[in-house]
A and B are shown apart, each in its own frame.
Chain A
Amino acid sequence: MKHLMCSVGCCVLLCVLAPLAGRADGFEQRRDRVLQVAAAEQEYNLMTVLAKLKTRTDLDRAYVVLDSMAHDRAMGGMFFAYSMMGVYLHAHDVLPDTLRVKIREAFRVRTMYRGDTENHWVMYYTGLYLAAQTWPHDPGTAWFNGKSSDENLVEAAGWLNQWMHTTVTIGQGEFDSPTYMTVFLCPMLLLQEFAQDPAMKTKAGMMVDLLLADFAAEHLNGNFGGAHSRDYPDDIVNPLSAPSTMWAWFYFGQPAMEQWNEARYRPRHRGSWETVFAAASSYRIPEIIRHIATNRAQPYVHREKKRVRNVIRFSAVKNPPVYKYTFMSPRYVIGSIQGGILQPIQQHTWDVTFSSTRTHNTLFSLHPFASGKELAMFFPEEQKFLAGEVDRYHLVYTNPGKWNSSSPYEQTFQHRNDLIVLYDIADGVRHPHADGFFPKTLDERVVDPTGWIFARWDSVYVGVFPLSGAAWIEDSICWRWRSTSRRTGWVVEVRSVEEAGTFEAFQRSLRSRTPDAETFMRTGSVAFTTAGGDRMTFAVNGSRNLNGQAVTFKKYPLYDGPWMQAKVGEGVIRLTDGIRTRVLDFTTGEVRER
């Protein structure tokens, strides 16, 4: 409460300055810059084509590429469907008639695979919605799927409305993904721009607000902090290289660098340039959201409830809940989800992320789990066949050294800036070890005789107490902590210089609160007293207790923190920064501000 009041107080001050900051924010310059730079690119994708068309640059090449892509079978169905419609609608006035006809024809003769993930479906139905309203009254013979324009529009609108309802009542499935946020934002930006139905147009705009606010609340100077449903190893170990950094720069003005010019942070999907869709859009981020993203005057806890993507077998529940907990501070973020299989393949369960422009500004642990049965929970093909298939696309799924993974043998318990993560790995598991990532870019890494590992990143200190022995393996970018004990875990405390004083004082404090690893190995239970005097106890497959009280997830909110509040099931999300309030009311399809 005290933190909240401080936070609100600071908000009042900052909000007075906000209008000035907004004008000086430079959004329009960044918008122009994206279009200008992307227009100069020679890459073979629809976003750079759109940039050329919007800026009237190199139109001949834009037409050639667009013509080619209308035929290119390498373009996947749902990615093609929404982005081709985006180009068509944004640049309709400069497209030759021949190209307009070819794009229309593509929706008759090209395969539009719908996909099997939430982002696939959002892209597919956005593309279908926009195409069906653009070419109304056509019979089924004019469409790839044999359905008329009216049928396609009704089906697409129905699915999109249902997805929005699900997202604002029980949470997003592919939540908080530094990569996949792009393919939710872009379709919603297109619907917000071009949907002819006013209700759809408004709700899509509200979804853009929500997706950006959701990111903003866990954003720290270009980093998407905390746990992620889906993340790629390169981005996990080097957070500023994720596509989310480009979005942070574009909408929040942080970090103050052009990602595409920074070899250290060049995003994996650099060639995609999806922010062109944002730059071409008339959508403007509400100042309150930009403020949420950038005001880090005070630390705070932000909680969210999400859901597991559709579990199709080996579970009685289709969308089990995900409980997300993030502690934000001016210098670092520590965040987690509760552990277990909450997403296949690319789950990132917890980390500490430091606010910094140095590379590899993160620290975390995981169990590199891989199982055909895990994949078969989410994909319909045969479980013995799936692991090899996933390796074809994601390359690392069965790799014992991978840096992204869900695991049924991993559980977390976080309280503010303290976290306990436990591993209790069953016999016969493919990779029976736990790994920890300590970047070489740390300023200090000290292995203390007490068992604590002390790490320092600028003015941020991390104490890690491993609950079992482990080996250190030197990798190119990190020191890999590896425990081959089936039962292991970490007790983690993070503090900044403002919170703990000197690094030496931080170490002294933790030495006096050393957990009992022997008891943990014997009983599976560990207790830890935080620097704030709170007593955390946590047992493998047992309860989480704080100061003797069981911590349950029963009343976990959809959003709860100083910036965002919403109850599960209500469909009303309240954004606030202390002075301004913006209510996204999906039950009425209205935005209320005061």
Chain B
Amino acid sequence: MQRCSVLLPLLLLLLLSDGGGAANALAGETIYMSVLSSRAHAWGKNDYPVIGLFVSSDAGTTWVHRGWREYIRMFYTEAGPDGVLWSACGNGVLRSKDDGATWRITTGSDVTEVMRLCVDKGDARRIVAATAYGPILSTDGGERWRFITEGLPARFSGDIIIDRVNGTLLVATEHGIFVRSAADRMWRRSSMTKDTRTIVQHATEPRVFFAGTEEDGIWRSTDGGRTWKARNEGLGHTTVYALATAPGTSGAVYAATFGGGIYRSDDGGNSWHQRSAGLTVLDCHAVQVLPSAPRTVFAGTLNGGLFISTDAGETWNFNSQADGQVWGLCVRN
């Protein structure tokens, strides 16, 4: 009874602030939060905070830790269409077929410092990962991996995605963005040549991509990633580590910046406005929109934990992981 009295107002608050979307989220969406480390985490200290993978199935109201509790340099976790979990970690690409209870490192000693990965939404056995030594690909569910670096001028890759429509790969490198179509064996240079840290495909407009860079702001492509144009009007902080789009052709776009917190665009990425009220840490590394409740947005900070906004970024409240480095966020619906 006492528990109900706590949860009921919270549920009402979510319903009121989010037009009912959060309730839908309670029903079907799962959020995966990868906490790389914590300011409170230091060698030799016995009061280690728990880090690694946290999962929420109730729009961030509660979080459950899954798998390894100690530092394994977990950068990002994503669920495939078949429910298999994949984590990009210092030790390689990890796979869990039991919702995070047990894991297997699917890669060998040659694959290390995996920064990001992406599971093909149309083929759960096709996974790509961005690593410090170049992008890798598996087409058999992680049993075997191979480096796919042909055509890349440098190996380090910070992000990689699979175009959900045609399976084309896009990789973010210090030399810009490179594109590799499903029929091609080579990476082809796009018009984007800046040090790129993140790429995202628009939630509902599949030809539209956004890219965040190291000190060169935000770039947009409307032709599937071949050509790019800078879109920085109003962007006061030009190092962008993550981007997220709300569903709908007029949906908002969010940018997680270093030093400036969260920026939002309401015109498809043409202009930006800082939306950081309530963020106590402005170094952000992750941002994610809840698809079923698009005014609910999560912001992952470096050393400040996770923040949540239920009004499309107008105001933020601390959610969890105080002192945590929230490196990656992913939503599965």
Using CB atoms and an 8 Å cutoff, list the residues of chain A in contact with chain B.
72-74, 76-77, 110-116, 121, 125, 140-141, 144-147, 155, 158-159, 162, 312-314, 316, 380-385, 392-393
Contacts and interface: CB of A to CB of B under 8 A. Distances in A.
A111 B43 contact: no
Among all A-B residue pairs, the 4 with the closest Cβ atoms: A146-B104, A111-B70, A313-B156, A159-B109
Nearest to A120: B90
Interface string B75-118: 00000000000000011000100000011110011001101000
Given A114-B90, A145-B105, A392-B42, A77 B70 contact: yes
30 contacts: A73-B46, A73-B70, A74-B45, A74-B48, A76-B43, A77-B70, A77-B71, A111-B69, A111-B71, A111-B72, A113-B70, A113-B90, A113-B91, A114-B90, A114-B112, A115-B90, A116-B73, A145-B105, A146-B105, A159-B109, A162-B109, A312-B132, A312-B133, A314-B174, A316-B154, A380-B113, A380-B115, A380-B132, A384-B259, A392-B42
Contacts of B132: 312-313, 380
Nearest to A152: B105
A386 B5 CA distance: 44
A112 B68 CA distance: 10
B239 A384 contact: yes
A159 B108 CA distance: 9
B106 to A, nearest CB: 8
A455 B249 CA distance: 74
A155 B108 contact: yes
Given A113-B70, A116-B113, A382-B285, A146 B103 contact: yes
Given A111-B72, A312-B113, A385-B283, A140 B241 contact: no
A77 B68 CA distance: 12
A347 B131 CA distance: 26
B90 to A, nearest CB: 6
A237 to B, nearest CB: 23
B113 A125 contact: no
A540 to B, nearest CB: 27
Contacts of B70: 73, 77, 110-111, 113
B105 A147 contact: yes
A114 B155 contact: no
A382 B197 CA distance: 8
A158 B111 CA distance: 13
Contacts of B197: 382
A383 B302 CA distance: 13
B29 interface: no
B74 to A, nearest CB: 10
Nearest to B95: A146
Main secondary structure of the interface of B (DSSP, over half): loop
B90 A116 contact: yes
A45 to B, nearest CB: 11
B58 interface: no
A385 B90 contact: no
Contacts of A146: 95, 102-105
Contact of B68 (A111, A121, A384): A111
A158 B109 contact: yes
B258 A113 contact: no
B109 A72 contact: no
B69 A116 contact: no
A593 to B, nearest CB: 33
A140 B98 CA distance: 14
B113 A382 contact: no
Contacts of B73: 113, 116
Contacts of B95: 146
Contacts of B42: 392-393
A140 to B, nearest CB: 6
Nearest to B68: A111
Interface string B133-166: 1000000000000000000001110100000000
Instruction: Specify which of A73, A121, A380, A384 lies most central, judged by the most chain B CB atoms within 10 Å of its CB.
Output: A380
Contacts of A77: 70-72
A74 B258 contact: no
B44 interface: yes
Contacts of B109: 121, 125, 155, 158-159, 162
B214 interface: yes
A140 B103 CA distance: 10
A312 B156 contact: yes
A152 to B, nearest CB: 10
Contacts of A314: 174
Contacts of B258: 382, 384-385
A147 B225 CA distance: 38
Nearest to B51: A111
Given A111-B70, A314-B174, 7 more contacts: A72-B46, A73-B69, A116-B112, A155-B108, A158-B109, A159-B109, A384-B258
Which of A114, A125, A314 has most B Cβ within 10 Å? A114
Contacts of A147: 104-105
Contacts of A111: 68-72
A199 to B, nearest CB: 18
Nearest to B103: A146
B165 to A, nearest CB: 29
A115 B70 CA distance: 13
Given A73-B48, A145-B91, A312-B133, A380 B108 contact: no
A121 B133 CA distance: 16
Contacts of A383: 214
A393 B72 contact: no
A155 B104 CA distance: 14
A380 B44 CA distance: 23
Interface string B185-213: 00000000000010000000000000000
A141 B97 CA distance: 13
Nearest to A312: B132
A113 B241 contact: no
The winner among A72, A125, A144 for most chain B CB atoms within 10 A is: A144
Nearest to A156: B109
B91 A114 contact: yes
Contacts of A384: 214, 239, 258-259, 283
Contacts of B46: 72-74
Contacts of A380: 113, 115, 132, 156, 158
Contacts of A381: 36
Contacts of A316: 154
Nearest to B174: A313
Contacts of B239: 382, 384
A113 B72 CA distance: 5
A385 B302 contact: yes
A162 B133 CA distance: 17
A162 B109 CA distance: 10
Interface string B278-295: 000001010000000000
Contacts of A144: 68
A380 B104 CA distance: 22
Contacts of A159: 109
Contacts of B283: 384-385
Contacts of B72: 77, 111, 113
A382 B158 CA distance: 9
B71 A113 contact: yes
A520 to B, nearest CB: 35
Contacts of B68: 111, 144
A380 B131 CA distance: 9
Contacts of A110: 70
A48 to B, nearest CB: 16
A72 B69 CA distance: 12
B281 to A, nearest CB: 12
B323 to A, nearest CB: 12
Contacts of A125: 109
B84 to A, nearest CB: 13
A77 B73 CA distance: 12
